[in-house]
Amino acid sequence: MTFGAAITDAEGLRLTDNERALFREMNPFGFILFARNIDSADQVRALCDDFREAVGRNCPITIDQEGGRVQRLRAPLAREWMPPLDHAERAGEQAERAMYLRYRLIAHELFELGIDSNCAPTLDLARAETHAFLRNRCYGDDVDTIGKIGRAVAQAHLVGGVLPVVKHMPGHGRATLDTHFDLPLVNLPLEALQDTDFAPFRALNDLPMGMTAHLVFGQIDPLPATISPEMMTVIRDVIGFDGLIMTDDISMKALSGSAAELSRQAIEAGCDVVLHCNANLAERAEVLKAAGQMTDLAQARAERALAMRKPPQELDIEATEAELSALMGGQVYER
């Protein structure tokens, strides 16, 4: 069965009849959840079942559950975490282990609700000028630290039965604008980026899925990376990433054009899957049609990614929390 080359969402807590019919016809690769889709544990499980029944398979269901400002699941369904950068800095030399434990608990919470993917780790290199919308979501300000923590975060997801999605490729840390509203420009040559912003992604280029950045790398190509064939070549050949590439949400204001046009441009540039969020049913239908079916190469990458989705290993929650608390000096969660 060839998958549709899109990841989409639902308007509410359960699928409507029209949504079911659309998803059954278009067979999107997977789905993403937002706060509006979350009420209770039983409801989230039922919605995940709705998605999978609509497409007739065990499709991936993802979410943004970084912890801190970006976490769709909140108490009482999930732990309330401090921002990732604060967590890593507080843990100090134990950051790699502490972040592994943090995301192992997150993966457990997700899997218990039927969610089997998460848009993490964030491998963007934090700088003083990094826009506030992103900065405290990063793991550090040096390549080696980010690579080690990113690997630990990815492994925590995989042993928890959850597929990680590395973001934002090929690197978002130099953005001084919020891509939800504006299009940032990075005006540096490829040589200056290879051993800095691009390096953490190269270190984790074996992971199953990655998400693009809506940035212009002006000395490489004037188009935003998400719709740039040149930047897709950088991701594939310079970074060496051969996993499934999904766009960041194409409804973000950094990109110009209709959702259908952007979908076609992203696929033509070399993205495997279009992520489209927060639209009405008619626009979702337009995107699903514009994205079309996966290419043979995209399908192969999708199947490789799904093959990495394994049953979770057993987790001793009490022991995990105790170890994490000891590493963090007792301050583990947001207060």
Domain boundaries, given as residue ranges, for the chain: 4-326
Pick the catalytic residue: 9, 248, 249, 272?
Answer: 248
Residue 330 confidence (pLDDT): 79
Residue 84 confidence (pLDDT): 96
The pLDDT mean for the chain works out to 96
Question: Which amino acid is it at 1?
Answer: M
Inform me whether the pLDDT recorded for 335 exceeds 60.
no
Inform me whether the pLDDT recorded for 173 exceeds 70.
yes
Q: What is the per-residue pLDDT across 110-132, written as a single tens digit (0 to 9) for each?
A: 999 999 999 999 999 999 999 99
Inform me whether the pLDDT recorded for 181 exceeds 60.
yes
Residue 122 confidence (pLDDT): 98
Alpha-carbon distance of 206 to 101, in angstroms, equals 21
Pick the catalytic residue: 142, 144, 180, 206?
Answer: 180
Task: Could you list the beta-strand ranges (E) of the chain.
Answer: 4-8, 28-33, 61-63, 65-67, 70-71, 117-118, 163-169, 185-186, 209-212, 216-217, 244-246, 274-275
Inform me whether the pLDDT recorded for 62 exceeds 90.
yes
Q: What is the per-residue pLDDT across 191-230, written as a single tens digit (0 to 9) for each?
A: 999 999 999 999 999 999 999 999 999 999 999 999 999 9
Alpha-carbon distance of 38 to 71, in angstroms, equals 12
Q: What is the average pLDDT across 255-281?
A: 97
Alpha-carbon distance of 305 to 219, in angstroms, equals 32
Q: What is the average pLDDT across 233-243?
A: 98
Third-level CATH fold of 4-326: TIM Barrel (3.20.20)
Sign of CA dihedral 165, 47, 308, 156: positive
Q: What is the average pLDDT across 264-279?
A: 97
Look at the pTM and tell me if it is higher than 0.75: yes
Q: What is the average pLDDT across 16-38?
A: 98
The helix/strand/coil state of 144 is helix
Residue 163 CB coordination number (10 Å): 25
Residue 334 confidence (pLDDT): 63
Q: How open is the CA angle 178-6-210, to the nearest 5 degrees? A: 55
* pLDDT band, residue 296 (cuts 50/70/90): very high
Let me know if 180 is a catalytic residue. Answer: yes
Return the H-helix or E-strand segment holding 325.
Answer: helix 317-327
Which two three-digit tokens encode residue 165?
């999605």
Q: What is the per-residue pLDDT across 43-59, written as a single tens digit (0 to 9) for each?
A: 999 999 999 999 999 99
